[in-house]
Structure 1
């Protein structure tokens, strides 16, 4: 009898830990969805029942739990019609970028709430979830999902801790060393950069509270009139998962409910297809991998820039693998292999890869650090310029602006610097060691903390008291005003007393003079 009961007893904890989790990654961005898919798959493999809302028709194979797709069909097609030339967008001033992001976030939020598959989910009274995970990316009204299902809210930041994240949990982020995501600064800023960063931080916060949040609130109540005001939902984050790590970012303050899991989606390199494997292993002087990511297309480079790049690449003794979104590349030299799609992580994991030419997106940055490959960045927009600045600061990268591609000699000089100076490869290997030297794998940490929040019913004990203060109280402005007022009052009284004493002394002397006369 005991033998029969024992196996059942062993699996009871597994059964009791199974939770229903809703994961929402609404953006039509493949790089964002890669992160969402990795998290969803791991949660399901850990035994949870996961529902995934995404505009990509994914069919994830899971081992233990269950996986259900809420497919946002037609969203990708809609965004492709609206998409602008990202090379042009790269020259947009940061302040204008704020308003562009406002529009993007409002558009995605509206499309998601309006989608019939989402409406069906939200209107099903039998649906229940133990936790709701929402990608935090200018879509704050979607925190409503956690309120609707009365579940703890786990927010996921695809770009680490930033101005969209820190105020929502009360995390300190001094602009003196925490650059805004839209600025091309590292954590080591000059006085002028600190001045610009501080002013931009103020403008960003005013934009959020005066323009963006009210717009999100209107969209929320357009579909759910009885929903609470957005300001009552914004600060109910039980946990923030951050796609960052000290190997990829400079260290910044983090509260207990902010967990770094940067690198969680990266895995050891797998065996490459034979053509790629032969191309890499047959390169006597090594290989350069060139990719501008999933959103920026190399085929859209202006002709002069593309010609300059080709002239530089064909002069190299290394072979080049270039993610190029067209079957034909006029003037392609023999040492260059092109393909519309490439297994980037597996290529970067090959020992014979000597350099990565990249736009500096965070996924590419994370993967190159994971595998210890030095970098030449050509940042275009978003967080890419900040990522590039951080890599240059850490010492394993060179960075050139998009405009520099008009000058063949400057491209060649930057490439040769990284290829011929061994310090870049050495520092890249060191950064890789930092990423790998962790007590837990990043994905294991993510799963643990999600389950922790579920076990502790939202883990309200991680919430800081600062969130319950008004903004002027959080900044102690009322204290400063009080102390300043008292100091001024005391100073005025002292001045008044001094004047009275001086006047009495003067009068006394005058009276004595009069008596002597």
Structure 2
């Protein structure tokens, strides 16, 4: 996002407070005019010496994967990671003065961690919220988007029109606890931020909702169609370079040799947060069974650890790599399928590449991303717990590699992206400049979004009309009953 804004001629400062010792943007910022302002907490040396948290429990922990338990565990887990650096930022008056002296027109901040909204409040500049995921109902609601129930399936639910009562019940149940989870996480942050400031401050909902726009990483031609408002701006695809996709560069020599080994090649990568080498052994066993069952397919597996013993268990058609040139491989016609966890970056890359995909969501928004891509017909959403089922995995993979319908559908979606009428980068810039010009505009948020659930969905009117209808039917049947009684009584009297 910083690169896009700077490329359009704006002065950009990228403020990076470290909650973990992960330099996620090293090598990613291309525009040399961007000022990078790193902020290291007091315990940064301790963070450097500690083991990077990779959350292997997300693979198969029943506790973390249970929606109710997760709703109460995740706010504690993630809130604790944020707290130290966030409180330090809020208390650092020297930092506030440095930022204030730069005379920024606007700040842009991720909603997942909210301390930047309060720093912006302290230094007196408007702050535009962004979400790096496709959507988060908790924040979309602040900008007038109605509930997405029925429009987007939750984990374990069939998609419309196949959804039945239990699917709808599952959607309601999971939607409720998803909101509980994220509201608890954000409320926890608000409490320690207010304590750090030392005086009452605007509630996070009121502060975030002041913005005239909310920038989402959704692409309307990829994502589910949902009712929305003009304030929610979709810029999914700003990271995609169409020129490089259409004209990929030369493949590194070692991968060129691998791609020439067999007629079909499959790439497997589960991202950078969840590591393949920490996958449960029975999941690995299922993958190995698939590898052996498909000897005519080459597999490149992003595996983050040197493991000689594990390598011995693999057939010759499998190559383990700590790092892979993912965009280059996806642009190569010899790669037939991408097996991915469904992180939004990888989802967007495979969608733009026109490649079939096996989507194996592990946690978070990845299930949404998997369903989102699968509905276009070029991908299959696959339950991670079925990785241990080597026979099923083999059948699905063989179908993806050999059945041309997946590639045809994936190419159709790619053509849509290449011809979408609104360029995501231009959409971002137009709305950003609009928000700077009109920082207090709120007319596009429907007033009905401010009322309670009963008034919003007219439940009181529906109940009233239902009551009146029932009363009318009761009176009608009473009249008919009395009329019938009189007619029958009169006939008996006459007889």
* Counterpart among 60, 69, 80 of residue 88 in structure 1: 60
State the match for 1:442 in structure 2: 424
The TM-score with structure 1 as length reference comes to 0.78
Question: What are structure 1's unaligned runs of at least 5 residues?
Answer: 1-38
CA shift, 1:310, in A, is: 3.0
Contact 2:338–2:350 (Cα < 8 Å) also in 1:
yes
1:321–1:394: structure 2 CA closer, same or farther, 3 Å change rule? same
Q: Is the 8 A contact 2:148 2:227 kept in 1?
A: no
Name the SS for the 2:38 alignment partner. strand
- 1:175–1:198 contact (8 Å) kept in structure 2: yes
Contact 2:60 2:385 in 1 (8 A): no
Q: Which residue of 2 aligns with 1:287?
A: 265
Describe the shift of the 1:81–1:327 C-alpha distance in structure 2 as closer, same or farther (beyond 3 A). Answer: closer
Change (3 A) 1:118 1:259: farther
The 8 Å contact of residues 245 and 435 in structure 1, kept in 2 or not, is answered as no
Structure 1: how far apart are the matches of 2:78 and 2:156?
A: 19
**SS at structure 2 position matched to 1:88:** coil
Superposition TM-score, scaled by structure 2 size = 0.81
1:437, distance to aligned residue in structure 2 (A): 1.8
- Other-structure match for 2:377: 395
Residue number in structure 2 paired with 1:161: 135
Which of 72, 78, 84 lines up with 1:99 in the alignment? 72
Structure 1 partner of 2:202 = 228
- Secondary structure of the corresponding residue to residue 233 of structure 1: helix
Do the aligned partners of 1:171 and 1:255 also contact (CA within 8 Å) in 2? yes
Give distance in 2, aligned partners of 1:207 and 1:326.
Answer: 33
8 Å Cα contact 1:272-1:347 kept in structure 2: no
> Which of the numbers 258, 261, 270 marks the counterpart of 2:232?
258
Q: What is the aligned partner in structure 2 of residue 466 from structure 1?
A: 448
Q: Which whole-Å CA distance do the structure 2 matches of 1:478 and 1:114 have between them?
A: 44
Moved more, 447-456 or 77-86: 77-86
Write out per-residue CA displacement over residues 126-177 of structure 1, whole angstroms, 9 at most, x where no aligned residue: 354322222222x356533443344333222222233223211120124122
User: Could you say if the C-alpha distance between residues 79 and 248 of structure 1 is closer, same or farther in structure 2, counting changes exceeding 3 Å?
Assistant: farther
Does residue 49 of structure 1 match 2:11? yes
* Structure 2 CA distance for partners of 1:214 and 1:318, relative to 1, 3 Å: closer
Deviation at 1:234, TM superposition (A): 4.2
Measured after TM superposition, the shift of residue 53 of structure 1 is: 3.1
Task: State how far apart, in whole Å, the 2-side matches of 1:383 and 1:186 are.
Answer: 17
Q: 1:77 to 1:358 in 2, by over 3 A?
A: farther
Residues 247 and 369, structure 1, Cα contact 8 Å, conserved in 2: no
The answer on whether the counterparts of 1:131 and 1:152 sit within 8 Å (CA) in structure 2 is yes
**Using the alignment, how far apart are the partners of 2:129 and 2:50 within structure 1?**
26
2:304 corresponds to 1:325 = yes
- Using the TM superposition, give the Cα deviation of residue 105 of structure 1 relative to its aligned residue in structure 2, in angstroms: 4.4
Q: Is the 8 A contact 2:3 2:34 kept in 1?
A: no
In structure 1, the partner of 2:279 is 301
- Give the secondary structure class of the aligned counterpart of 1:264: coil
Residue-by-residue CA offset, 1:474-506 (whole Å, 9 max, x unaligned) = 3334544665677788899x79x979xx8xx99
Q: Is 1:218 aligned with 2:191? A: yes
Q: Deviations over 1:276-299 (max 9, x none)?
A: 442255244032111111112111
Query: Cα distance, 1:361 vs. partner?
Result: 1.9
* Counterpart-to-counterpart distance in 1, 2:96 and 2:336: 50
1:67 to 35, 52, 70: 35
**Alpha carbons 2:126, 2:211 under 8 Å: kept:** yes
Decide whether aligned partners of structure 1 residues 489 and 365 sit closer, same or farther in structure 2, where only a CA change above 3 A counts: same
- Cα RMSD after superposing both structures: 3.6
| Equivalent position of 2:108 in the other structure | 133
Greater shift in the superposed pair: 428-437 or 384-393: 384-393
What is the DSSP-based 3-state SS (H/G/I as helix, E as strand, rest coil) of the residue aligned with 2:448?
Answer: helix
Which ranges of structure 2 fall in alignment gaps of 5 or more residues? none
Q: Please point out which of 287, 290, 295 is paired with 1:316.
A: 295
Matches of 2:185 and 2:30, distance apart in 1:
38
8 Å CA contact 2:2, 2:34 repeated in 1: no
CA contact (8 A) 1:169 1:463 kept: yes
Residues 216 and 470 of structure 1, relative CA distance in 2, 3 Å threshold: farther
Match in the other structure for 1:27: none
The alpha-carbon deviation at position 221 of structure 1 amounts to 1.0
Matches within 5 A, 1:102-181: 102-116=75-89, 119=92, 120-122=94-96, 124=98, 125-137=100-112, 139-140=113-114, 142-180=116-154
**What is the CA-CA distance between 1:381 and the residue it aligns to?**
1.8
Which residue number corresponds to residue 23 of structure 1? none
* Equivalence for 1:334: 316
351-360 vs 439-448, which deviates more? 439-448
Structure 1 295/482 Cα, relative in aligned 2: closer, same or farther at 3 Å? same
Write the distance in 1 (CA, Å) between the matches of 2:103 and 2:465: 51
| Aligned residue pair count | 465
* CA-CA distance at 1:367 after TM superposition: 0.8
User: Cα distance 1:480–1:407, how it changes in 2: closer, same or farther (>3 A)?
Assistant: closer
Greater Cα offset, 115-124 or 266-275: 115-124
Shift of 1:411: 1.9
Task: Give per-residue Cα distances to partners, 1:216-270, cap 9 Å, x unaligned.
Answer: 3312211122412334324223212222224432211221111222222122244
